A = this chain, B = another copy of it.
């Protein structure tokens, strides 16, 4: 008897296998198995976000395990919720895969998602599966909105700009993997399974953050999103950006400026926030700049006083 695949076990057995491994939390009034799930949000409005990961674009099966890919897929959506100052309650998952995919890969991937969700107390409450040519993971996360959700549009001139979490690690790990290496492991693992600072999101909200964003496209690109939504200049002082030794060493080995990875590398899911000048900034955050009035160049990002004119950000359809 060969290895079980999605084609041999079929849709319903796959769903049964996955659902059997899930734990549901108190907020889940109705979990998987009905036309919809029902989640108690304690009378708050709902935050909702979706992220899609595509095999060969966002992950490779020869670079990461199924569990790691599941963790990474969930992290993208969970980090979006954190960036509003909230904590995710539930995920629903769209899962597309070729029929010859080993069934253990599918259950490993959803187990990875559930594991990542559990780090913030969230559950997988539903999903849909279909056959397709390549693996596509679509993860929707919901959360009860906090009293004052932190949008991108609230940064004010005079605010402090601060970052929580890692920068440049995932980009360095991707560079290592792209050259065919599997070490340094810390960098490779950072690319495989990002470590978003989930708790820093609600902490920033409680501390009065005026704007916040999940750094998924790169520090400059995502800072620009705050700048444009808030009509301000985000002035980053590069001397205040921490360049971790692991990232610096890899950059040296590849004859690159590590600042490139720190400023433009995405997928670490750091949180970039702005705080009023007098705010007590939570311990997870490091101040890296200030919010200024836009100059002749309009709203945008400056690094070391120089306005950034790069197109910036990962272009998913770009050549």
Interface residues of A (CB under 8 A from B): 5-7, 9-12, 14, 29-30, 33-41, 43, 45-54, 57-58, 80-81, 83-84, 90, 92-96, 99, 125-134, 136, 138, 140-143, 145, 149, 151-153, 212-214, 229, 313, 315-319
Interchain CB contact under 8 A, B94 and A130: no
Interchain CB contact under 8 A, B38 and A45: yes
- CA separation between A95 and B54, bound complex, in Å? 11
Interchain CB contact under 8 A, A130 and B52: yes
- CA separation between A229 and B31, bound complex, in Å? 13
Task: Enumerate chain B residues within 8 angstroms of A143, measured Cβ to Cβ.
Answer: 36
Q: Which residue in B5, B46, B57, B58 is a CB contact (below 8 Å) of A46? A: B46
**Smallest distance from the beta carbon of A290 to chain B beta carbons, Å?**
22
Interchain CB contact under 8 A, B41 and A80: no
Task: Enumerate chain B residues within 8 angstroms of A127, measured Cβ to Cβ.
Answer: 50
- CA separation between A7 and B49, bound complex, in Å? 24
- Also in contact, A54 and B92, with CB within 8 A (given A45-B41, A48-B36): no
Task: Enumerate chain B residues within 8 angstroms of A136, measured Cβ to Cβ.
Answer: 52, 94, 96, 132, 136, 138
Interchain CB contact under 8 A, B54 and A48: no
Task: Enumerate chain B residues within 8 angstroms of A129, measured Cβ to Cβ.
Answer: 52, 316-317
Interchain CB contact under 8 A, A50 and B317: no
- CA separation between A229 and B45, bound complex, in Å? 31
- CA separation between A315 and B316, bound complex, in Å? 32
Interchain CB contact under 8 A, A52 and B7: no
**Smallest distance from the beta carbon of A121 to chain B beta carbons, Å?**
16
- CA separation between A6 and B40, bound complex, in Å? 39
Interchain CB contact under 8 A, A48 and B39: yes
A-B contacts besides A48-B90, A48-B125, A132-B134, 16 pairs, CB < 8 Å: A10-B318, A11-B318, A30-B149, A34-B152, A35-B84, A36-B80, A36-B84, A36-B143, A38-B48, A50-B140, A52-B128, A52-B136, A52-B138, A99-B317, A131-B317, A134-B134
Interchain CB contact under 8 A, A38 and B149: yes
Interchain CB contact under 8 A, A92 and B49: yes
A-B contact pairs, 24 of them (CB 8 A): A10-B317, A11-B315, A12-B313, A29-B45, A30-B151, A33-B152, A33-B229, A34-B152, A35-B83, A36-B47, A36-B83, A36-B143, A38-B84, A39-B45, A41-B45, A48-B125, A48-B126, A52-B129, A54-B130, A58-B130, A96-B136, A129-B316, A134-B134, A138-B138
